[in-house]
Each structure stands twice: as structure tokens, then as C-alpha cells.
Amino acid sequence: MTLYDELQLPNGTTIPNRIAKAAMEENMADSHHAPSAQLIKLYDAWANGKAGLIITGNVMIDRRAMTGPGGVVLENADNLKKFKQWSHAARVNGAQFWMQINHPGRQMMANLGQQTWAPSAIALDLGSMSKHFGMPSEMTEAVIADVIKRFANTAELSEEAGFTGVQIHAAHGYLLSQFLSPLTNHRNDTWGGSIDNRARLLIEVVKAVRSTVSANFSVSVKLNSADFQRGGFSTDDAKKVIEMLNPLNVDLVELSGGSYEAPAMQGVSKDGRTLAREAYFFEFAKDIQVVAEMPIMVTGGIRRRPVAEEVVTSGIDMIGMATALAIDPNLPLDWAAGLNNAPQLKPIRWKNKAVASLANMAVVKYQLNKLSLGKPCDPNISPLRALVLQQIKTSRLTRRYRKNISEAK
């Protein structure tokens, strides 16, 4: 198996190679939460780079529940024309194009002015940064039912818009991940306690989505290999969830890790474990893959061709890259031509890990902004400058969001 072999999914569709553009949050929606012209141009760059699979950043199932104020929302058909333009741009060179669909749960900034829901009323612990996130309300049965319905609705609309699949986000500490983790799920009903109960919401969402879309539309899941927090969602838990997903016609599972509190997706563990410098979750994936009946994809810091080849040669079905493709969207083409480009950002070693994580995301978003404007990337941008610029943009988008929500009431 090589990086440039096709991958046939369980639903019979084919991904042209084993390289995926993994999700990155762009915050480039227009004022109606639809894909902006800038966002569509960004995906045109990745389409031309010939990744076999392109996955969007967060698309929210509910405009009241946002990972960021400039996020895309798909909850009705009002802006379907722009979503069709987005899917056309990303698929022009034959890639599969999947929409990552998500609900943030408690990981939503308090200044957006919305009620925050979570499995249990447990606030984020980010030290001095905790004040930026409110105390969530424990979800009622009615709210849970609404969330399941919304995931299925967004998936159905994405198929109508020309996407070839969805990725249900159950990682990185967002809502479905919060239900999976015993640190954030303290419920004593059928939605909490055992791993079978904690996984119930994810399972019900997958079932609802699968029953709504057509058989050849891909349904995938993004799952933490672990939370990397003591007492959190473990690798053994991840294995159990994979076993529960096996009979549900899931076409691929992407394994990642971490949350806002422990950003392992950036190579930072909070439970004392040392992560690899590249392909952070590779070893965990090999362990988890033993029980998986669907293809497995690994993300997390991959930027060098030999590492990517090692992952695929080992039997892992796909590799996902995010930051590397934010710097060099043509990397799949370059590797196919025999080049060994290895794009990299400078590590940020600030003492405040939460702020360093924000700075790292800001540097990545700076590259995305450059790409979306047709300009060359600048991986040497000062993290402080990138963070300040991102905070200014977020403040502006937050004001716009609050104004739009207020006018819609």
C-alpha cells in the first residue's frame, strides 16, 4: 500500500489517493454564515494540490452553538447555492469532499451571548482563560433529541449541496466528545456512566445521519484516540466505541486526540504521556485499528513524506494533514513528483500553554487567510503578531454575530 493507491470505502466509493486535507477552522463565513468567496478560493487551492480527500473545517448544525463567530452554519436551504459553489470548487480535480459537522457543547466563547449546553454542568478549566467560557447547562432529553435531529438535517443538506460525505466531529472536546469523556459527563441516566451510555449520543447521531443520506454518501467519524487527561476518555474507551461503530456502515474513522484543555492535536499532553514529534497518534491508531472494520485515518503533525509513507505502509489506510497543507497546498503533487518538501511552523514555547495554543491556531489561520487571497504563505510570521491580528478579527466577527443574532429574534 502506497500514498498514491486508491482507497475503496465500504459504501463502494473511491478516494483517489491516501492523502487527506484534514479539518482546520477557518472562520471565513460571510455575514449569513454561508461560505464566502474567500473561503471558496481557499478550497480551490487544496483541490489543485490533488489531496484525495478534502474535509472542511467546522460546519455548525445550529447558529446558536458556534466554535467561533465567523463559522459556517448549515441548518436550512437558504444559502444552498453558495454551498454548491463550495463543493464544486473542492471537487473539480476529483477529490472526495466531506463536510465536518459539529456542535461545540461547552467549548463556546461566553461573549457570543448564547446559552451553552453540555452533558453535565462542568465548566472548562483553562486557568486564567476559563473566564472566557461560561458554565454550561446540563442537556435535557429535548435538547439531546434536537441535536440528533440537527446533525441528520445538516448531513442531508450537505448531500443536496454536492458534498460526497460528512465527518461527524466526536473529538477535540466538542459536544459528542464531552459525552464520551467521564471528566465531562457525570450523568446518571442512559446518556452517562458506562462507556456504552457515554457513547450513546454519538451512536444515535451516526444512525440518524446514515438513515437520512443515500447509501453511496460517505459517513465518517472523527474520534479521539484519547483525551490525554488523567481520568478522561482512554484508548480502551476508543476501542469500545470503534466496536460499537463497526455495524453502523461507517466509511472511515479519523483518529486524533485532545481538547481545549489538553491540546494533544498540537502535540501537547496533559496526562504526562510523551507524544511523538510527528504523527502524534500513530501508535494509538495501530492499537485501535485491531478492532476496526472500517478504514482508519491518522492526523497529527504529519509533514514529511517518509513519515506519511511509514504510516500507510504499516496498514493505516489514510494520513490526514492540516498545518502542512496550510503552508503548502501543493504538497501531494510535490511528493508525487518525487520532491520531499516538509513545511513546518516554528514551535511556540510560551509558558502559558493555553495562550500558546491560541497563538498556534492564529499562525495557522494566518496562512489560511494568505491562501484564500491567492498570496504566498508566511510560516515565519511572529506568533504574537498573528495572535493579535486574530484577536482583532475575532472581536469584529463577534460583534457582527451578536448583531445578527439579535436582529433575527
Whole-Å CA distances, 260 to 65, 250, 360, 398: 16, 27, 13, 20
* Of 248-252, 259-263, 379-383, the least confident: 259-263
Give the tens place of pLDDT for each residue, 177-217. Answer: 999 999 999 999 999 999 999 999 999 999 999 999 999 99
Give 251's contacts (C-beta < 8 A, 6+ positions apart): 9, 10, 11, 13, 165, 218, 219, 220, 294, 295
Give the tens place of pLDDT for each residue, 15-40. Answer: 999 999 999 999 999 999 999 999 99
Amino acid, res. 205: V
Q: What pLDDT is recorded for position 148?
A: 98
Give 289's contacts (C-beta < 8 A, 6+ positions apart): 296, 315, 316
User: What average pLDDT does range 394-399 have in this prediction?
Assistant: 95
Q: What pLDDT is recorded for position 261?
A: 62
Q: What pLDDT is recorded for position 269?
A: 41
Q: What pLDDT is recorded for position 263?
A: 56
Give the tens place of pLDDT for each residue, 285-313. Answer: 888 889 999 999 998 888 889 889 988 99
Give 55's contacts (C-beta < 8 A, 6+ positions apart): 20, 21, 22, 23, 97, 98, 99, 100, 167, 320
Hey, is 198 helix, strand or coil? helix
Q: What mean pLDDT value characterizes the chain?
A: 91
The CA distance from 119 to 139, in Å, is 6
User: What average pLDDT does range 135-146 have in this prediction?
Assistant: 97
Q: What structural domains and CATH numbers belong to the chain? A: 7-347 (3.20.20.70)
Strand 165-170 relative to strand 96-102: parallel, antiparallel, unpaired? parallel
Q: Exposed/middle/buried for 342, CB within 10 Å: 0-12, 13-18, 19+?
A: middle
Query: Considering only CA atoms, which of 84, 217, 59 is closest in space to residue 151?
Result: 59
Give the tens place of pLDDT for each residue, 114-139. Answer: 999 999 999 988 787 778 888 999 99
Q: What pLDDT is recorded for position 352?
A: 83
Q: What pLDDT is recorded for position 298?
A: 92
DSSP string, 148-182: HHHHHHHHHHHHHTT-SEEEEEE-TTSHHHHHH-T
Residues in the chain: 409
Q: What pLDDT is recorded for position 283?
A: 80
User: What average pLDDT does range 233-257 have in this prediction?
Assistant: 93
Give 336's contacts (C-beta < 8 A, 6+ positions apart): 4, 50
Give the tens place of pLDDT for each residue, 328-350. Answer: 999 999 999 999 888 988 888 88
Q: Exposed/middle/buried for 26, CB within 10 Å: 0-12, 13-18, 19+?
A: buried
Q: What pLDDT is recorded for position 266?
A: 46
Q: What pLDDT is recorded for position 78?
A: 96
Contact 394, 69 (CB under 8 A): yes
pLDDT range class, residue 233, cuts 50, 70, 90? confident
> What is the pTM for the complete model shown?
0.94
**In 133-256, which ranges are continuous DSSP H helix?**
141-160, 175-180, 195-198, 200-212, 235-245
Residue in the structure block whose three cell numbers are 466577527: 397
User: What average pLDDT does range 257-274 have in this prediction?
Assistant: 52
